[in-house]
Structure 1
Amino acid sequence: MRLLPAIDLIDGKIVRLTEGDFNTEEQYGDPYEKLKEWQGRVPMLHLIDLEGAKAGEPRHLDVVRFAKTCGFFVQTGGGIRSEEALDAVMATGADRVLLGTKAFTDSDFLNRALAKYGDRVAVALDAYDGIVAVNGWQEATDLKDIDAAKGLVDRGVKTILYTDIGSDGKLNGPNLERMKALREAVSVTLIASGGVTTEADVEALQAAGIDEAVVGKALLSGQVSLDDLIEWEARHA
Protein backbone atom coordinates (compact mmCIF):
# COMPACT_ATOMS: atom_id res chain seq x y z
CA MET A 1 0.00 0.00 0.00
CA ARG A 2 1.20 3.50 -0.84
CA LEU A 3 0.94 6.18 1.85
CA LEU A 4 0.60 9.88 1.07
CA PRO A 5 1.50 12.45 3.72
CA ALA A 6 -0.97 15.33 3.53
CA ILE A 7 -0.64 19.08 3.53
CA ASP A 8 -3.82 21.18 3.62
CA LEU A 9 -3.51 24.90 2.94
CA ILE A 10 -5.26 28.07 4.08
CA ASP A 11 -3.71 31.53 3.84
CA GLY A 12 -0.31 30.12 2.93
CA LYS A 13 -0.17 27.97 6.07
CA ILE A 14 -0.47 24.24 6.71
CA VAL A 15 -3.71 23.58 8.56
CA ARG A 16 -5.91 20.73 9.67
CA LEU A 17 -9.65 20.81 10.17
CA THR A 18 -11.93 18.39 12.00
CA GLU A 19 -14.82 17.03 9.92
CA GLY A 20 -14.17 19.79 7.39
CA ASP A 21 -15.28 22.50 9.82
CA PHE A 22 -13.33 25.70 9.10
CA ASN A 23 -13.95 26.84 12.69
CA THR A 24 -11.72 23.99 13.94
CA GLU A 25 -8.62 25.16 12.08
CA GLU A 26 -5.28 24.23 13.61
CA GLN A 27 -2.08 25.60 12.06
CA TYR A 28 1.10 23.59 11.49
CA GLY A 29 3.52 26.06 10.00
CA ASP A 30 5.01 26.92 6.65
CA PRO A 31 4.41 24.54 3.71
CA TYR A 32 7.73 25.35 2.03
CA GLU A 33 9.70 24.39 5.11
CA LYS A 34 7.71 21.18 5.51
CA LEU A 35 8.24 20.24 1.88
CA LYS A 36 11.98 20.79 2.23
CA GLU A 37 11.94 18.65 5.39
CA TRP A 38 10.16 15.81 3.56
CA GLN A 39 12.10 16.14 0.31
CA GLY A 40 13.81 12.92 -0.74
CA ARG A 41 12.25 10.94 2.10
CA VAL A 42 8.81 10.13 0.71
CA PRO A 43 7.89 9.94 -2.98
CA MET A 44 4.22 10.97 -2.91
CA LEU A 45 2.35 13.95 -1.51
CA HIS A 46 -1.31 14.85 -1.01
CA LEU A 47 -1.59 18.64 -1.27
CA ILE A 48 -5.04 20.20 -0.82
CA ASP A 49 -6.02 23.84 -1.20
CA LEU A 50 -8.77 24.17 1.41
CA GLU A 51 -8.97 27.89 0.90
CA GLY A 52 -9.45 27.27 -2.80
CA ALA A 53 -12.12 24.65 -2.13
CA LYS A 54 -14.11 27.16 -0.11
CA ALA A 55 -13.54 30.04 -2.54
CA GLY A 56 -14.21 28.01 -5.69
CA GLU A 57 -10.82 28.69 -7.32
CA PRO A 58 -7.23 27.56 -6.60
CA ARG A 59 -5.26 29.84 -4.26
CA HIS A 60 -1.97 27.98 -3.71
CA LEU A 61 -0.55 27.04 -7.10
CA ASP A 62 2.85 28.35 -6.02
CA VAL A 63 3.06 25.65 -3.35
CA VAL A 64 2.17 22.96 -5.90
CA ARG A 65 4.89 24.22 -8.22
CA PHE A 66 7.41 24.19 -5.40
CA ALA A 67 6.44 20.64 -4.43
CA LYS A 68 7.16 19.53 -7.99
CA THR A 69 10.60 21.18 -7.92
CA CYS A 70 11.26 19.08 -4.79
CA GLY A 71 10.68 15.92 -6.80
CA PHE A 72 7.40 14.72 -5.28
CA PHE A 73 4.63 12.87 -7.07
CA VAL A 74 1.95 15.46 -6.31
CA GLN A 75 -1.72 14.71 -5.92
CA THR A 76 -3.57 18.00 -5.53
CA GLY A 77 -7.00 19.57 -5.59
CA GLY A 78 -9.24 22.25 -4.18
CA GLY A 79 -11.42 24.78 -5.96
CA ILE A 80 -11.02 23.44 -9.51
CA ARG A 81 -14.39 24.46 -10.95
CA SER A 82 -13.50 25.81 -14.39
CA GLU A 83 -11.45 24.65 -17.34
CA GLU A 84 -9.13 27.59 -16.83
CA ALA A 85 -8.50 26.53 -13.24
CA LEU A 86 -7.93 22.91 -14.29
CA ASP A 87 -5.46 24.00 -16.96
CA ALA A 88 -3.64 26.20 -14.44
CA VAL A 89 -3.27 23.37 -11.95
CA MET A 90 -2.15 20.94 -14.64
CA ALA A 91 0.43 23.51 -15.81
CA THR A 92 2.15 23.28 -12.41
CA GLY A 93 3.20 19.75 -13.36
CA ALA A 94 0.92 18.08 -10.80
CA ASP A 95 0.82 14.34 -11.41
CA ARG A 96 -2.74 13.71 -10.26
CA VAL A 97 -5.40 16.41 -10.02
CA LEU A 98 -8.52 15.91 -7.94
CA LEU A 99 -11.86 17.21 -9.09
CA GLY A 100 -14.51 17.48 -6.40
CA THR A 101 -17.64 19.60 -6.60
CA LYS A 102 -17.54 20.10 -10.36
CA ALA A 103 -17.33 16.36 -11.02
CA PHE A 104 -20.78 15.96 -9.47
CA THR A 105 -22.47 19.14 -10.66
CA ASP A 106 -21.28 19.36 -14.28
CA SER A 107 -21.02 16.09 -16.17
CA ASP A 108 -19.80 17.80 -19.33
CA PHE A 109 -16.90 19.36 -17.43
CA LEU A 110 -15.79 15.97 -16.14
CA ASN A 111 -16.04 14.48 -19.63
CA ARG A 112 -13.88 17.25 -21.10
CA ALA A 113 -11.34 16.96 -18.28
CA LEU A 114 -10.98 13.21 -18.80
CA ALA A 115 -10.73 13.62 -22.57
CA LYS A 116 -7.98 16.24 -22.23
CA TYR A 117 -5.93 14.89 -19.32
CA GLY A 118 -6.84 11.21 -19.02
CA ASP A 119 -5.50 9.36 -15.99
CA ARG A 120 -4.07 12.54 -14.47
CA VAL A 121 -7.66 13.39 -13.52
CA ALA A 122 -8.99 11.77 -10.34
CA VAL A 123 -12.15 12.50 -8.39
CA ALA A 124 -12.44 13.33 -4.71
CA LEU A 125 -15.55 11.64 -3.36
CA ASP A 126 -16.27 13.21 0.02
CA ALA A 127 -19.12 11.83 2.09
CA TYR A 128 -20.71 12.05 5.50
CA ASP A 129 -22.73 9.01 6.60
CA GLY A 130 -22.54 7.76 3.02
CA ILE A 131 -23.94 10.96 1.47
CA VAL A 132 -21.77 12.94 -0.93
CA ALA A 133 -20.87 16.50 0.09
CA VAL A 134 -19.65 19.32 -2.18
CA ASN A 135 -18.46 22.93 -2.01
CA GLY A 136 -15.65 22.32 0.44
CA TRP A 137 -17.77 19.76 2.35
CA GLN A 138 -20.23 22.52 3.23
CA GLU A 139 -23.21 21.24 1.23
CA ALA A 140 -24.82 17.79 1.21
CA THR A 141 -26.18 16.34 -2.03
CA ASP A 142 -28.78 13.63 -2.60
CA LEU A 143 -26.09 11.24 -3.93
CA LYS A 144 -25.13 8.07 -2.11
CA ASP A 145 -21.40 7.36 -2.12
CA ILE A 146 -21.63 3.90 -3.70
CA ASP A 147 -23.89 5.09 -6.50
CA ALA A 148 -21.64 8.08 -7.09
CA ALA A 149 -18.52 5.89 -7.26
CA LYS A 150 -20.11 3.52 -9.76
CA GLY A 151 -21.21 6.45 -11.86
CA LEU A 152 -17.70 7.88 -11.92
CA VAL A 153 -16.23 4.58 -13.04
CA ASP A 154 -18.84 4.33 -15.79
CA ARG A 155 -17.66 7.75 -17.00
CA GLY A 156 -14.05 6.59 -17.23
CA VAL A 157 -12.57 7.78 -13.93
CA LYS A 158 -9.59 5.57 -12.98
CA THR A 159 -8.80 6.92 -9.49
CA ILE A 160 -11.15 7.84 -6.65
CA LEU A 161 -10.10 9.46 -3.38
CA TYR A 162 -12.71 8.72 -0.73
CA THR A 163 -12.82 10.93 2.35
CA ASP A 164 -15.09 9.94 5.19
CA ILE A 165 -15.83 13.39 6.60
CA GLY A 166 -16.99 12.00 9.92
CA SER A 167 -13.55 10.44 10.48
CA ASP A 168 -11.43 13.30 9.21
CA GLY A 169 -9.13 14.89 11.74
CA LYS A 170 -10.36 12.79 14.68
CA LEU A 171 -7.45 10.32 14.87
CA ASN A 172 -9.92 7.49 15.54
CA GLY A 173 -9.19 5.36 12.51
CA PRO A 174 -10.78 5.18 9.05
CA ASN A 175 -14.35 4.15 8.29
CA LEU A 176 -13.56 0.59 7.25
CA GLU A 177 -17.18 -0.30 6.59
CA ARG A 178 -17.48 2.38 3.91
CA MET A 179 -14.08 1.57 2.42
CA LYS A 180 -14.94 -2.12 2.15
CA ALA A 181 -18.27 -1.31 0.52
CA LEU A 182 -16.57 0.93 -2.02
CA ARG A 183 -13.91 -1.67 -2.75
CA GLU A 184 -16.63 -4.21 -3.49
CA ALA A 185 -18.41 -1.71 -5.73
CA VAL A 186 -15.55 -0.48 -7.94
CA SER A 187 -12.27 -1.87 -9.24
CA VAL A 188 -10.37 1.36 -9.95
CA THR A 189 -7.53 2.79 -7.83
CA LEU A 190 -9.11 3.61 -4.48
CA ILE A 191 -7.54 5.98 -1.97
CA ALA A 192 -8.67 6.22 1.66
CA SER A 193 -8.65 9.53 3.51
CA GLY A 194 -9.88 10.40 6.97
CA GLY A 195 -8.77 9.03 10.32
CA VAL A 196 -5.71 7.03 9.24
CA THR A 197 -3.61 7.12 12.41
CA THR A 198 -1.86 3.83 13.20
CA GLU A 199 -0.13 0.96 11.46
CA ALA A 200 -3.15 -1.15 12.38
CA ASP A 201 -5.26 1.25 10.30
CA VAL A 202 -2.90 0.75 7.37
CA GLU A 203 -3.06 -3.03 7.77
CA ALA A 204 -6.86 -2.98 7.89
CA LEU A 205 -7.10 -0.84 4.77
CA GLN A 206 -4.65 -3.05 2.93
CA ALA A 207 -6.65 -6.12 3.96
CA ALA A 208 -9.73 -4.41 2.54
CA GLY A 209 -7.97 -4.03 -0.79
CA ILE A 210 -7.41 -0.28 -0.66
CA ASP A 211 -4.59 0.92 -2.91
CA GLU A 212 -3.43 4.10 -1.19
CA ALA A 213 -4.08 6.02 2.03
CA VAL A 214 -3.66 9.65 3.03
CA VAL A 215 -2.14 10.41 6.44
CA GLY A 216 -2.74 13.96 7.64
CA LYS A 217 -3.35 15.10 11.19
CA ALA A 218 -1.67 12.08 12.79
CA LEU A 219 1.56 13.04 11.05
CA LEU A 220 1.39 16.79 11.50
CA SER A 221 0.39 16.57 15.16
CA GLY A 222 3.32 14.25 15.93
CA GLN A 223 1.22 11.22 16.80
CA VAL A 224 3.20 9.40 14.11
CA SER A 225 6.50 10.41 12.53
CA LEU A 226 7.57 10.50 8.93
CA ASP A 227 9.94 7.63 9.78
CA ASP A 228 6.92 5.64 11.00
CA LEU A 229 5.15 6.32 7.71
CA ILE A 230 8.18 5.22 5.69
CA GLU A 231 8.54 2.02 7.73
CA TRP A 232 4.83 1.21 7.49
CA GLU A 233 4.86 1.59 3.71
CA ALA A 234 7.94 -0.60 3.41
CA ARG A 235 6.34 -3.34 5.51
CA HIS A 236 3.10 -3.21 3.54
CA ALA A 237 4.48 -2.77 0.05
Structure 2
Amino acid sequence: MRLLPAIDLIDGKIVRLTEGDFNTEEQYGDPYEKLKEWQGRVPMLHLIDLEGAKAGEPRHLDVVRFAKTCGFFVQTGGGIRSEEALDAVMATGADRVLLGTKAFTDPDFLDRALAKYGDRVAVALDAYDGIVAVNGWQEATDLKDIDAAKGLVDRGVKTILYTDIGSDGKLNGPNLERMKALREAVSVTLIASGGVTTEADVEALQAAGIDEAVVGKALLSGQVSLDDLIEWEARHA
Protein backbone atom coordinates (compact mmCIF):
# COMPACT_ATOMS: atom_id res chain seq x y z
CA MET A 1 0.00 0.00 0.00
CA ARG A 2 1.21 3.49 -0.84
CA LEU A 3 1.02 6.14 1.89
CA LEU A 4 0.70 9.85 1.15
CA PRO A 5 1.73 12.41 3.78
CA ALA A 6 -0.78 15.25 3.72
CA ILE A 7 -0.42 19.01 3.80
CA ASP A 8 -3.58 21.14 3.99
CA LEU A 9 -3.25 24.87 3.35
CA ILE A 10 -4.98 28.02 4.55
CA ASP A 11 -3.46 31.50 4.19
CA GLY A 12 -0.03 30.11 3.33
CA LYS A 13 0.16 27.91 6.43
CA ILE A 14 -0.14 24.17 7.05
CA VAL A 15 -3.35 23.50 8.96
CA ARG A 16 -5.55 20.63 10.06
CA LEU A 17 -9.28 20.75 10.63
CA THR A 18 -11.58 18.31 12.43
CA GLU A 19 -14.51 17.06 10.34
CA GLY A 20 -13.83 19.88 7.87
CA ASP A 21 -14.90 22.54 10.38
CA PHE A 22 -12.92 25.73 9.71
CA ASN A 23 -13.48 26.79 13.32
CA THR A 24 -11.26 23.89 14.48
CA GLU A 25 -8.18 25.08 12.58
CA GLU A 26 -4.82 24.09 14.05
CA GLN A 27 -1.65 25.47 12.46
CA TYR A 28 1.49 23.43 11.80
CA GLY A 29 3.91 25.90 10.30
CA ASP A 30 5.36 26.79 6.94
CA PRO A 31 4.70 24.47 3.98
CA TYR A 32 7.98 25.28 2.24
CA GLU A 33 10.00 24.25 5.28
CA LYS A 34 7.99 21.05 5.67
CA LEU A 35 8.45 20.16 2.01
CA LYS A 36 12.20 20.67 2.29
CA GLU A 37 12.21 18.49 5.41
CA TRP A 38 10.38 15.69 3.59
CA GLN A 39 12.28 16.07 0.30
CA GLY A 40 13.94 12.85 -0.82
CA ARG A 41 12.41 10.83 2.00
CA VAL A 42 8.95 10.04 0.63
CA PRO A 43 7.95 9.93 -3.04
CA MET A 44 4.29 11.00 -2.87
CA LEU A 45 2.48 13.97 -1.39
CA HIS A 46 -1.19 14.89 -0.81
CA LEU A 47 -1.46 18.68 -0.99
CA ILE A 48 -4.89 20.25 -0.46
CA ASP A 49 -5.84 23.91 -0.77
CA LEU A 50 -8.55 24.22 1.89
CA GLU A 51 -8.74 27.96 1.44
CA GLY A 52 -9.29 27.39 -2.27
CA ALA A 53 -11.97 24.79 -1.59
CA LYS A 54 -13.89 27.29 0.50
CA ALA A 55 -13.34 30.20 -1.91
CA GLY A 56 -14.06 28.22 -5.07
CA GLU A 57 -10.72 28.90 -6.74
CA PRO A 58 -7.11 27.74 -6.09
CA ARG A 59 -5.10 29.95 -3.74
CA HIS A 60 -1.82 28.06 -3.26
CA LEU A 61 -0.45 27.18 -6.69
CA ASP A 62 2.98 28.45 -5.65
CA VAL A 63 3.21 25.70 -3.04
CA VAL A 64 2.26 23.07 -5.61
CA ARG A 65 4.95 24.35 -7.97
CA PHE A 66 7.53 24.25 -5.18
CA ALA A 67 6.55 20.69 -4.26
CA LYS A 68 7.20 19.64 -7.86
CA THR A 69 10.65 21.27 -7.81
CA CYS A 70 11.35 19.10 -4.73
CA GLY A 71 10.70 15.98 -6.79
CA PHE A 72 7.45 14.78 -5.23
CA PHE A 73 4.64 12.98 -7.01
CA VAL A 74 1.99 15.57 -6.15
CA GLN A 75 -1.69 14.85 -5.71
CA THR A 76 -3.50 18.14 -5.23
CA GLY A 77 -6.94 19.72 -5.19
CA GLY A 78 -9.14 22.40 -3.72
CA GLY A 79 -11.32 24.97 -5.45
CA ILE A 80 -10.97 23.68 -9.01
CA ARG A 81 -14.36 24.72 -10.38
CA SER A 82 -13.54 26.16 -13.80
CA GLU A 83 -11.56 25.05 -16.82
CA GLU A 84 -9.20 27.98 -16.28
CA ALA A 85 -8.52 26.83 -12.72
CA LEU A 86 -7.99 23.26 -13.86
CA ASP A 87 -5.54 24.37 -16.55
CA ALA A 88 -3.68 26.51 -14.01
CA VAL A 89 -3.28 23.63 -11.57
CA MET A 90 -2.21 21.24 -14.33
CA ALA A 91 0.35 23.82 -15.47
CA THR A 92 2.14 23.51 -12.12
CA GLY A 93 3.13 19.98 -13.15
CA ALA A 94 0.90 18.29 -10.57
CA ASP A 95 0.76 14.55 -11.25
CA ARG A 96 -2.80 13.91 -10.05
CA VAL A 97 -5.42 16.63 -9.73
CA LEU A 98 -8.51 16.13 -7.61
CA LEU A 99 -11.86 17.47 -8.67
CA GLY A 100 -14.45 17.69 -5.94
CA THR A 101 -17.58 19.83 -6.01
CA LYS A 102 -17.57 20.41 -9.75
CA ALA A 103 -17.41 16.70 -10.52
CA PHE A 104 -20.82 16.27 -8.90
CA THR A 105 -22.54 19.55 -9.78
CA ASP A 106 -21.40 19.66 -13.42
CA PRO A 107 -20.74 16.18 -14.87
CA ASP A 108 -20.04 17.70 -18.30
CA PHE A 109 -17.11 19.55 -16.76
CA LEU A 110 -15.77 16.24 -15.48
CA ASP A 111 -16.14 14.72 -18.93
CA ARG A 112 -14.18 17.58 -20.51
CA ALA A 113 -11.48 17.33 -17.86
CA LEU A 114 -11.07 13.60 -18.43
CA ALA A 115 -10.98 14.08 -22.20
CA LYS A 116 -8.24 16.70 -21.88
CA TYR A 117 -6.08 15.31 -19.07
CA GLY A 118 -6.96 11.62 -18.82
CA ASP A 119 -5.66 9.73 -15.80
CA ARG A 120 -4.16 12.86 -14.26
CA VAL A 121 -7.73 13.70 -13.23
CA ALA A 122 -9.03 12.04 -10.08
CA VAL A 123 -12.13 12.77 -8.02
CA ALA A 124 -12.38 13.54 -4.31
CA LEU A 125 -15.50 11.84 -2.97
CA ASP A 126 -16.17 13.33 0.46
CA ALA A 127 -19.00 11.96 2.56
CA TYR A 128 -20.53 12.14 6.02
CA ASP A 129 -22.55 9.10 7.09
CA GLY A 130 -22.45 7.92 3.49
CA ILE A 131 -23.85 11.16 2.03
CA VAL A 132 -21.69 13.17 -0.38
CA ALA A 133 -20.73 16.69 0.69
CA VAL A 134 -19.52 19.53 -1.56
CA ASN A 135 -18.28 23.13 -1.37
CA GLY A 136 -15.46 22.46 1.04
CA TRP A 137 -17.60 19.92 2.94
CA GLN A 138 -19.98 22.72 3.87
CA GLU A 139 -23.01 21.47 1.90
CA ALA A 140 -24.64 18.03 1.87
CA THR A 141 -26.08 16.63 -1.35
CA ASP A 142 -28.71 13.96 -1.93
CA LEU A 143 -26.08 11.57 -3.35
CA LYS A 144 -25.10 8.36 -1.59
CA ASP A 145 -21.38 7.60 -1.68
CA ILE A 146 -21.68 4.18 -3.35
CA ASP A 147 -23.99 5.47 -6.08
CA ALA A 148 -21.70 8.45 -6.63
CA ALA A 149 -18.61 6.23 -6.92
CA LYS A 150 -20.29 3.98 -9.46
CA GLY A 151 -21.37 7.00 -11.44
CA LEU A 152 -17.81 8.35 -11.51
CA VAL A 153 -16.46 5.05 -12.77
CA ASP A 154 -19.11 4.98 -15.48
CA ARG A 155 -17.85 8.36 -16.66
CA GLY A 156 -14.28 7.07 -16.91
CA VAL A 157 -12.72 8.12 -13.60
CA LYS A 158 -9.77 5.84 -12.76
CA THR A 159 -8.89 7.15 -9.27
CA ILE A 160 -11.19 8.05 -6.38
CA LEU A 161 -10.07 9.61 -3.11
CA TYR A 162 -12.65 8.85 -0.43
CA THR A 163 -12.69 10.99 2.70
CA ASP A 164 -14.93 9.97 5.57
CA ILE A 165 -15.61 13.41 7.04
CA GLY A 166 -16.72 11.95 10.36
CA SER A 167 -13.28 10.38 10.83
CA ASP A 168 -11.18 13.27 9.58
CA GLY A 169 -8.82 14.80 12.10
CA LYS A 170 -9.98 12.63 15.01
CA LEU A 171 -7.05 10.16 15.12
CA ASN A 172 -9.40 7.26 15.86
CA GLY A 173 -9.00 5.16 12.72
CA PRO A 174 -10.63 5.10 9.28
CA ASN A 175 -14.20 4.12 8.55
CA LEU A 176 -13.47 0.58 7.41
CA GLU A 177 -17.13 -0.22 6.80
CA ARG A 178 -17.43 2.51 4.18
CA MET A 179 -14.05 1.68 2.61
CA LYS A 180 -14.98 -2.01 2.29
CA ALA A 181 -18.33 -1.11 0.74
CA LEU A 182 -16.65 1.15 -1.79
CA ARG A 183 -14.05 -1.48 -2.60
CA GLU A 184 -16.82 -3.97 -3.34
CA ALA A 185 -18.60 -1.42 -5.52
CA VAL A 186 -15.75 -0.19 -7.76
CA SER A 187 -12.50 -1.62 -9.10
CA VAL A 188 -10.58 1.60 -9.80
CA THR A 189 -7.69 2.95 -7.70
CA LEU A 190 -9.20 3.77 -4.29
CA ILE A 191 -7.53 6.08 -1.79
CA ALA A 192 -8.60 6.28 1.86
CA SER A 193 -8.51 9.54 3.79
CA GLY A 194 -9.64 10.35 7.28
CA GLY A 195 -8.53 8.89 10.60
CA VAL A 196 -5.48 6.88 9.45
CA THR A 197 -3.33 6.90 12.57
CA THR A 198 -1.62 3.57 13.26
CA GLU A 199 0.05 0.72 11.41
CA ALA A 200 -2.98 -1.37 12.34
CA ASP A 201 -5.10 1.11 10.34
CA VAL A 202 -2.79 0.62 7.36
CA GLU A 203 -3.00 -3.17 7.70
CA ALA A 204 -6.80 -3.05 7.89
CA LEU A 205 -7.07 -0.86 4.82
CA GLN A 206 -4.69 -3.07 2.88
CA ALA A 207 -6.69 -6.14 3.90
CA ALA A 208 -9.79 -4.37 2.57
CA GLY A 209 -8.09 -3.94 -0.81
CA ILE A 210 -7.48 -0.20 -0.58
CA ASP A 211 -4.67 1.00 -2.85
CA GLU A 212 -3.43 4.15 -1.11
CA ALA A 213 -4.00 6.01 2.16
CA VAL A 214 -3.53 9.63 3.19
CA VAL A 215 -1.94 10.34 6.57
CA GLY A 216 -2.44 13.87 7.83
CA LYS A 217 -3.02 14.95 11.42
CA ALA A 218 -1.34 11.89 12.94
CA LEU A 219 1.86 12.86 11.16
CA LEU A 220 1.74 16.61 11.70
CA SER A 221 0.79 16.30 15.38
CA GLY A 222 3.71 13.95 16.04
CA GLN A 223 1.60 10.92 16.88
CA VAL A 224 3.51 9.13 14.11
CA SER A 225 6.77 10.12 12.46
CA LEU A 226 7.78 10.26 8.84
CA ASP A 227 10.12 7.37 9.60
CA ASP A 228 7.10 5.38 10.82
CA LEU A 229 5.31 6.02 7.54
CA ILE A 230 8.34 4.99 5.52
CA GLU A 231 8.69 1.76 7.53
CA TRP A 232 4.95 0.99 7.33
CA GLU A 233 4.93 1.43 3.57
CA ALA A 234 8.00 -0.79 3.19
CA ARG A 235 6.39 -3.55 5.27
CA HIS A 236 3.13 -3.36 3.35
CA ALA A 237 4.46 -2.89 -0.17
The verdict on a shared fold, with TM-score over 0.5 as the criterion, is yes
Match runs of 1:110-125 below 5 Å: 110-125=110-125
| 1:174-205 deviation line (CA, Å, top 9, x unaligned) | 00000000000000000000000000000000
Shift of 1:102: 0.0
* Shift of residue 150, structure 1, vs aligned partner: 0.1
**1:23-66: CA deviation from partner (whole Å, max 9, x where unpaired):** 00000000000000000000000000000000000000000000
Match of 1:228 in 2: 228
SS at match of 2:35: helix
Per-residue CA deviation, residues 124-182 of structure 1 (Å, 9 max, x unaligned), is 00000000000000000000000000000000000000000000000000000000000
Describe the superposition over 1:75-111 as per-residue Cα deviations: whole angstroms up to 9, x where unpaired.
0000000000000000000000000000000011000
Return 5+ residue gaps in structure 1 as ranges: none
**What is the alpha-carbon distance in structure 1 between the residues aligned to residue 173 and residue 33 of structure 2?**
28
Give the TM-score of the pair, scaled to structure 2.
1.00
The runs of at least 4 aligned residues of structure 1 exceeding 3 Å deviation read none
User: Structure 2: how far apart are the matches of 1:169 and 1:112?
Assistant: 33
Distance in 2 of aligned mates of 1:59 and 1:163: 21
Post-superposition offset of 1:231:
0.1
Residues 154-193 of structure 1 aligned to structure 2 (within 5 Å):
154-193=154-193
Structure 1 vs Structure 2 CA RMSD: 0.1
Residue-pair matches, total: 237
Shift of residue 7 of structure 1? 0.0
Report SS of the residue matched to 1:219: helix
Give structure 2 stretches of 5+ with no counterpart: none
> SS state of the match for residue 109, structure 1?
helix
Aligned-partner Cα distance in 2 for 1:160–1:18: 21
Distance in 2 (CA, whole Å) between partners of 1:35 and 1:97 is 19
Q: Counterparts of 1:32 and 1:112 in 2: how far apart (Å)? A: 33
Q: Distance in 1 between matches of 2:13 and 2:107?
A: 33
| 3-state SS, counterpart of residue 168 of structure 1 | coil
In structure 2, distance between residues paired with 1:113 and 1:6: 24
Overall identity of the aligned pairs, in %: 99
For the residue of structure 2 that corresponds to 1:40, the secondary structure is coil
